[in-house]
Amino acid sequence: MNKFKLTFFGLFFSSFLFSQILIVNSGSSISIPAGSSIVLDGLEIDPDATYVISGFNAVLRASTAITAGENSSVSRVFNTTALLADFTGTLTFSYLDVDLNDIAEENLALELQAEDDSWTSYTGAVDETNKTVSYTFSEAVSFKAITAASSNATLTATAVYAGLSSILVYPNPTADRIYIKTEKTFNAQLFDLTGRKIQQTNQKQLDMSSLSSGAYILNVTTENNKTQSFKILKQ
């Protein structure tokens, strides 16, 4: 396999901007031929057919874990500013021991975030010697973030109060919006930690992009007047 055997048009690698490791400018693209791969600061993309990343897009690496209740990813997360669509081939995710957050290496699985911000786990091959997790996608997958977490965990937020599980809220943390999944009619109110109401909605998504980073409480009240509370972290 050839690594870095690529066709570049308007490509910029950055080692100067924190966590920003690749920029593809508007009107530009990267072509990764089958049999070649690109390694982006610990994430290897190895397509089984020529794969094109078109601009504008950027790949960034964060050292903040994704959390959902008591569950956590490793402290290494790759995000893209635009969706990487219809990929087939192998993704290999590298990690360090300090990234693990007490997750047993043998339990690691890849976690991919879809366009709707939901996370899906893929249990592949863990190489504890080389500190990698890899998975080969024979069917096309689209994603905008990738990390690793325990195959026994979920990165979808769950309720603060146990015993109530009819509502799911995800992703958590979020950089822009959250989704509320329930079959019931509901009203959602978002509060800051001082108790001040920030937003209210009866829609299944809530835009938090303009809010400051930090913790918020989301109260979701259903048609039977039962309320579930969720702690949401805004990045």
Query: How far apart (Å, rounded) are the C-alpha atoms in residues 86 and 27?
Result: 20
Torsion of the alpha carbons at 211, 212, 218 and 223, rounded to the nearest 10: -10
Please, what is the average pLDDT of the chain? 83
pLDDT, tens digit, 9 for 90 and up, residues 97-153? 999 999 999 999 999 988 877 788 899 999 999 999 999 999 999 998 999 999 887
Per residue in 210-235, pLDDT (tens digit) is 999 888 888 888 877 777 778 888 88
Enumerate the β-bridge partners of residue 231: 217
The answer regarding whether domain 2-150 maps to CATH 2.60.220 reads yes
Torsion of CA 142, 148, 151, 156, to 10 degrees: -70
For the chain, what percentages of helix, strand and coil (3-state, to nearest 5) are there?
5, 60, 40
Report how far residue 137's alpha carbon sits from residue 89's, in angstroms, rounded to the nearest whole number: 5
Note the helical H segments in 32-72: none
Helix, strand, or coil (residue 73): strand
Read off φ and ψ for residue 57, nearest 5 degrees.
-155, 150
Q: Where in the chain is the domain with CATH 2.60.220?
A: 2-150
Residue range(s) occupied by CATH 2.60.40.1930 in the chain: 168-234
| pLDDT tens by residue, 159-177 | 444 344 468 888 888 888 8
Tell me how far apart the alpha carbons of residues 11 and 28 are, in angstroms, rounded to a whole number: 7
Show the tokens assigned to 19. 């966590």
* pTM of full prediction above 0.75: no
Write the Ramachandran bin of 89: left for phi over 0, alpha for psi from -120 to 50, otherwise beta: left
* Nearest C-alpha neighbor of 93 from the set 22, 43, 46: 43
- Domain over 168-234 is classified CATH 2.60.40.1930: yes
